[in-house]
Structure 1
Amino acid sequence: MKTKLHTLCIALVIAGCSPVEGGTAARSIDTAAPASGTLFVANKFGNTLSKVDLANGEQVLRLDSCTNPHELATSPYGQHVALACYGGTTVDVFLTDTLEKVRSIDLGENARPHGIVWHANGDLYSTAEGRQSIFWIRDPLGKAERFEYASGKLGTHMLVVAPDARHAWTTDLGSKTVTRIDLRTRRAPLSVTVGEEPEGIALSPDGSSLWVSARGSNEAYELDPQTMEVRTTLQTGAFPLRLAIRPQGDFAVTSDLMDGGLSVIDLSKRAVVRQISVSSPEEAEDRFQVTILWSNDGERIYVAETASDTIAEVDFETGSVLRRIGVGDGGDGLAILETN
């Protein structure tokens, strides 16, 4: 298993396949109240972007995007979705209804954008891993002014932004650090060492707690967002690649790639309270779950299974896998647009 996982890890970095078109129906596993809205998926091996109707689980569109696309973010008003082109230098913007590309914002030589946030203030924020920096893109659909902030760290991979947009925080895989970046005064960034290969990162809705998962040490950490002091250290499942906080702010989950599970953290208790099995440890290498995303109501978790080209829809209360939705080659980055 370790050999196959290592091979796939290499493939995830150098991915590139020919684009395909068409849709794949959802494969139902269980029955539950229907979901609604739209799920967007970046297919990093196929270099495509998928649109899924969650009401029926059908992939209704899959179009060419860019080389090795990764993280996604929908705009505050729901008309656009932004894509980080990890194999290149741009953040590309698409219409959510047709997936037509309407903007390509170049971040410069060797940028390799990865983590991306479309803030409630209307601005975009992206890591530029190859430049050891992040970008604030002001008015992305208009002037698209770009402001670059150095992290000075290797592998500046994922990021979150404060509700007031005064600070951003990154996980820096190569440097084994988490970095706080001041977006207003440009004070020197503050970095602290956190575990082995920190990657997953999430900020509590009120901005009072920063949570990070370190895939190399199988741990999750709570940090003070301002002092960067580690408040809590928790043991998770194996290889917690991502960490996502429920929109209601009460729970977080980590995506434990090596055992195919999710570790559920009660944020008030600061404790792992249960495990959800998305696939068995024996199936984990054939699923290779990566990105995780909550539905807005906090009832479902969407899990990108990159090796099997599926998205698992998980009921949070019961831990059941409700269905698996077929997407493009190497589905990874996820974004959601839900109807009220």
Structure 2
Amino acid sequence: MRLRSLGLGLYLLIAPAAAGELLVGNKAADTVWRLSLDDGRKLGEFASGHGPHEIAVDGALAVVADYGDKDAPGHTLTVLDLQARQAPRRIELGRHGRPHGLRFLPGGRELLVTTEASAHLLRVDVASGRIVAEIALGEGRGHMVALSADGASAYVSKIDRGSLSRIDLDDNRKTAEVAAGAGAEGLAVRPGSGEIWVGNRDAGTVTVHDPRDLSVRATLDSPGFPIRVAFTADGRYALVSNARAATLSVFDARRKRLQARIALAREGAQYRDTLLGRAALPIGVVADPQRPRVYVAISGGDEIAVIDRRRWRVTARWPTGREPDALALTAAP
């Protein structure tokens, strides 16, 4: 597909921070903000396509899924140069509309992309913008994507089917699909174990799947619309954002037990209307590999909740653009 530079794109920025940065996709503003991990101050801003939903980072590049909105599906990816040497550019996906889940393959040359409108998983060469493979996912809309540690298998959740699929990336074909739970959405592979964890938002559960046959090893309660799953770098803790309950569930990943449940809404705060009504609506979550912190995007409050992992408490609130969702961390240069 065609790749083009956004000569008028917004890419005003200062030099990259030595300790890495937090990238925040602001869905209602069509921007990606760069925040300092020292104190949350805004370091700069990129323009994305319409409705940025997910962000993937590899080295000096970040790619944003331009999902669109309910009336106008998006069909592009925005590629950001994190060293600010050039303007953002876009990769056109043609008939493959509503790109959402993103994961770089090992080596950083290719990117996996779920496209809800065409029910495919794409392999995209980021440098050229060419679609290398179009992998049909069958009935239902693939939403999030995760990757095995060796890069041989991808996993895709389907909200409308409540299922988890496995894709063989050697043959570029779907090889299995199993039931997870109603509204299967959040998805992550636990470091060191290969387990696939799925947040089933309508069921209020997290299912833990065996990487060999996708069978369910455990089902954990996470009430209140569990929408995203992430892990600490060591795989010790699973982090699940519960959008309706405005909480973060923290699980001991080895024992499959609840470690903490953290309230994320501010008492007395005036949140705006969201897809779940007037609410805090936490969505994106990411664990800092260098600091004992977790960051959660509070979509209804235009802020990041910063959580201290030593005490499992919210210790700071960082302002963002309108309707933050996707989060990603950049590595120190």
The one-letter code sitting in structure 2 at the alignment partner of 1:312 is A
- Determine if contact 2:287/2:294 at 8 Å carries over to the other structure: yes
| 1:8-51 deviation digits (Å, cap 9, x = unpaired) | xxxxxxxxxxx99999xxxxxxxxxxx94211111111111111
Amino acid at match of 1:245: F
1:156-213, Cα deviation, whole Å (9 max, x unpaired): 1100011222110011011111111111124443111111101011102235211111
Structure having the larger proportion of residues in strand: 2
The alignment-based identity, stated in percent, is 28
Task: Indicate the residue corresponding to 1:132 in structure 2.
Answer: 119
What TM-score do the two structures reach when normalised by structure 1?
A: 0.84
Amino acid in structure 2 at the alignment position of 1:317: R
Q: Is the contact made by 1:237 and 1:261 (CA closer than 8 Å) also made in structure 2?
A: no
Residue 197 of structure 2 corresponds to residue 211 of structure 1: yes
The code of the aligned residue for 1:299 comes to: P
Partners of 2:188 and 2:295 lie apart in 1 by 16
The separation in 1 between residues aligned to 2:47 and 2:113, in whole angstroms, is 21
8 Å contact 2:106–2:151 — kept in the other structure?
no
Q: Is the 8 A contact 2:186 2:226 kept in 1?
A: yes
Q: Which residue in 2 is equivalent to 1:46?
A: 29
Q: Give the Cα–Cα distance (whole angstroms) in 2 for the partners of residues 160 and 168 of structure 1.
A: 6
CA deviation map 1:275-327 (0-9, x unaligned): 12222698684321111011113611110011111111111121221211111
Q: Could you tell me which amino acid in structure 2 is paired with residue 82 of structure 1? A: V
Give the CA deviation at 1:237: 2.9
Distance in 1 of aligned mates of 2:44 and 2:305 = 18
Instruction: Please identify which structure carries the higher helix content.
Output: 1
TM, length-normalised to structure 2: 0.85
- Per the alignment, residue 140 of structure 2 pairs with 154
User: Aligned AA for 2:67?
Assistant: Y
Name the residue aligned to 1:31. none
TM-fit CA distance, 1:102: 4.3
Question: How many residues in Structure 1 have an aligned counterpart in Structure 2?
Answer: 308
Distance change in 2, residues 1:57/1:281 (3 Å): closer
Q: CA RMSD in A?
A: 2.5
Give, as a single letter, the amino acid of the residue that structure 1 aligns with 2:27. K
Indicate yes or no: 2:64 matched with 1:83: yes
**1:69 matched to which residue of 2?**
52
SS class of match (2:239): strand
Residue 157 of structure 2 corresponds to which residue in structure 1? 171
**Structure 2 segments unaligned to the other structure (5+ residues):** 1-8, 69-73, 272-277
Identify the residue that residue 278 of structure 1 maps to in structure 2: 264
Cα distance between partner residues in 1 of 2:12 and 2:152: 42
- Deviations for 1:49-105, whole angstroms, at most 9, x for unmatched residues? 111122231112223211111100111x2x111101111111221111338544422
For 1:43, the aligned partner's letter is N
Q: Residue 185 in 1 paired to residue 171 in 2?
A: yes
2:165 and 2:174 in contact (8 A); partners too:
no
Q: CA deviation at 1:144?
A: 3.8
Where does structure 1 lack aligned partners over 5 or more consecutive residues?
A: 1-18, 24-34
